Structures are given as structure tokens and as C-alpha cells.
Amino acid sequence: MKDNEFITLGIESSCDETSVAVLSGERTVLSNIISSQIPVHRLFGGVVPEIASRHHLENINPVIKEALEKANVTWDDIDLISVTKGPGLVGALVIGIAVAKALAFAKDLPVVGVNHMHGHIDAAYLNFRELKPPFMSLVVSGGHTNIVRVTDYNSFTVLGGTRDDAVGEAYDKVARVIGLGYPGGPKIDKLAKEGNPQAVNFKRVWLEKGSLDFSFSGLKTAVLNYVNSEKQKGNEINPADIAAAFQEAVVEVIVGKTMDAMAETGEKKLVLAGGVASNSRLRQAIEDEAVKRSIEVYIPDAILCTDNGAMIAAAGYLKYKEFGGDDLDIDAYPNLDI
């Protein structure tokens, strides 16, 4: 396999983005087309699985066509098809997988099904050509909050994870409570800059001593109780202060546990991954701690933090390089572990 000539088509459809990318070799993105459904789901305050699946079905072929055209390649140039097999919404995953398998059969191409979360981690390789394992990765998204040790390109060990809500879910729920709407993450991040993070003392949830796990459901409930209590007293609430105080409680715990993991393992490289990795306060706090501890931090561009086909192409390429292709009986695994 010649890295600089090998072309991978990556298909991502795990939630509410239909994305297709073309990757040359291991790290050169030729195109990365994303069709977002946020305007559609905003009307409902969150992602509606059935609607998401329908839009994937409508969008997938035009997005593939655009990705090939922008990359200036034809099907004769494609060497591999990579597709997300999980985790995600089962109906949304099925659309991408069915298309990938049909194309692989029709074009006589190998296909690999990859883990969506491996894709998020591997996105860093696309921005940082010098990055190689081993390193630690903090994976923060709408569905996941994990501290993952990456010992090789296809070797991932989860050191800590959420026991209830993922951090992205907590952001969305708190955003609804204070009237910001969907998606909550970017809205809270923006509003928090106008607020006082010390205005409300929301409890930091550290769990038992030495644990690298997370829990955000109690914090979400604390915000709800605070808002309801203030309204019952007839007090006016300040959404900016609540957003800032909530975000500070989240970031302090995430950063603290991540730095504990770094110290315990001796790792000196940290990769941020997932949609919440684009949060400005989290980035700042991670970078501040990293300077104190002489840790190298790698944070992909915002477009590579959200769901995208380029990260799936990268993960697929790395998997195929080591293990070869999959059979055409690839299935969807909505609860696939990292």
C-alpha cells in the first residue's frame, strides 16, 4: 500500500450530520462535505431519530457526489470505503452502512466499519501530521465523556467515562432550562462569557476517591432546582451567570480528572476530541494546566471536532492498514463501546 496514493472515502451518518470525505494516504484531506440537520432539529429542541434517518436518506447521495467532485477524484481512484458502524442512532447508522455496502459491492471495493469514537480521536492526525501514539485523549461530545489512553493506532483503553449524562447532554438540558434552545453547547459557551462563574456555587461531582469517571446528572438537576427556587421566590435569574457557573463546574471536574489520568500514566501528550472539544472555556483550562505540567496539547480544528467524514476515513484507513477489510455483513451497533 502506497500511502500517498491510497484514497479512502469516509461516510459518517451516526446522528444529525450527513458527511462524506475523501482522504489521500493517512492524513491528507481532499474534501470533507458536511450536511448538518441542526436547523431541522432546532424546532424540536433536540435530535428526532426518525427525522434524522429520513434526512440522511435524502442527503447521502448528493453529499457523496459533492465530496468526489471537490476532491477531483472518480470512483476509479477510490481504494477503500470506510463507514461509521456505531455508536449512534440505529436508523441513522443503517443509512450510511447500507450505502457503503452497496457501493463496495457495485464498485468491487473493500469496506471497513469503524467506531465513531475512534474517528473522533483520529481526527487529530489530520491537523497534526507529527502526532503519533502513545497519548491520552479526552473525548467529550453529546453522547460521550471519556478519558482514553491510546497506545497504538488501533489500541484504545478507556480509563474513565460518564456514569449517566454525557457532558454534551448536560449542556443541552441546562440550555433548555435557561431558555437558550438547541444546540446547547455553543449557546452556553457564548453566553457564559458575559456571566460571573462565581455567581452560583454549583457542586463539583468528583465521585469516590481515585475515580476517573464522571457524573453530570446531579449538576443538571442542581441547575434546574436553582432556577425553580429563584422563580418561586420571585427573584430574577441571570442566564449568563447560570451558564458561566454551570460551565465552570463542568470544566473544573473534566480538567481535574484528565490531569489526574495524565499524572497516573505519565503521558505527556493530550488530544482533545469530540464536539465539546471546541468549547472555548474547556480549551483554555486544558491549555493553562498543560503549560504548568509540560504537557503537549493537540486540539483539532472545530470542523474536525464535530461529526465528519474525514475522521471516519482516517480511522478506516488505519484499521484497514492493520487488519484488512470487513465482510459485507457489517451491521449497526448503536451502543458500541470505545
What's the CA gap between 34 and 13, in Å, rounded?
10
- The yes-or-no verdict on residue 261 having pLDDT over 90 is yes
pLDDT at 1: 42
Would the pLDDT of 2 be above 60?
Answer: no
pLDDT, residue 50, reads: 83
Please state which of the ranges 50-54, 186-190, 322-326 shows the lowest mean pLDDT.
Answer: 50-54
- Which percentage of the chain shows pLDDT scores above 90? 87
Secondary-structure breakdown of the chain: helix, strand, coil percentages, each rounded to the nearest 5: 50, 20, 35
CA distance 303 to 235: 40
Measured between alpha carbons, how far is 3 from 314 in angstroms, rounded to an integer?
12
Q: What are the residue ranges spanned by the domains of the chain?
A: 7-126+304-323, 133-299
How far is it, in rounded angstroms, from Cα 158 to Cα 24? 29
CB under 8 Å to 134, separation ≥6 — which residues? 149, 150, 151, 152, 267, 269
pLDDT above 90 for 53: no
Burial of 74 (0-12, 13-18, 19+ CB in 10 A): exposed
Tell me the pTM: 0.93
Taking alpha carbons only, the member of 3, 6, 123 closest to residue 73 is: 6
Cα angle vertex 112, ends 107, 117, to 5°? Answer: 140
Q: How confident is the model at residue 4 (pLDDT cuts 50, 70, 90)?
A: low
pLDDT at 3: 53
The pLDDT of residue 76 = 97
Q: Does the structural domain 7-126+304-323 have CATH classification 1.20.120.1200?
A: no
Give pLDDT tens digits for 55-87: 889 999 999 999 999 999 999 999 999 999 999
161-174 pLDDT, tens digit each: 999 988 988 999 99
Strand partners, 157: 149
Query: What whole-number distance in Å separates Cα of residue 145 and Cα of residue 116?
Result: 13
What does pLDDT average to over the chain? 94
Lowest mean pLDDT among 44-58, 212-226, 313-327: 44-58
Closest CA to 173 of 236, 216, 118, 112: 216
Least confident of 35-39, 134-138, 173-177, 180-184: 35-39
Could you report the per-residue pLDDT of 83-114, keeping only the tens digit for each?
999 999 999 999 999 999 999 999 999 999 99
Q: Stretch 223-231: mean pLDDT, rounded?
A: 95
Question: What is the reported pLDDT for 182?
Answer: 84
| Distance from the Cα of residue 149 to its chain's centroid | 16
Q: For residue 82, list its beta bridge partners.
A: 10, 112
CB of 84 within 8 A of CB of 119?
yes
> For residue 181, is pLDDT > 50?
yes
Domain 133-299: CATH superfamily is: ATPase, nucleotide binding domain (3.30.420.40)
| Domains 7-126+304-323 and 133-299 agree in fold | yes
* pLDDT tens readout for residues 9-30: 999 999 889 999 999 999 999 9
SS3 for 47?
Answer: coil
Q: Is the peptide bond before 239 cis (omega within 30 degrees of 0)?
A: no
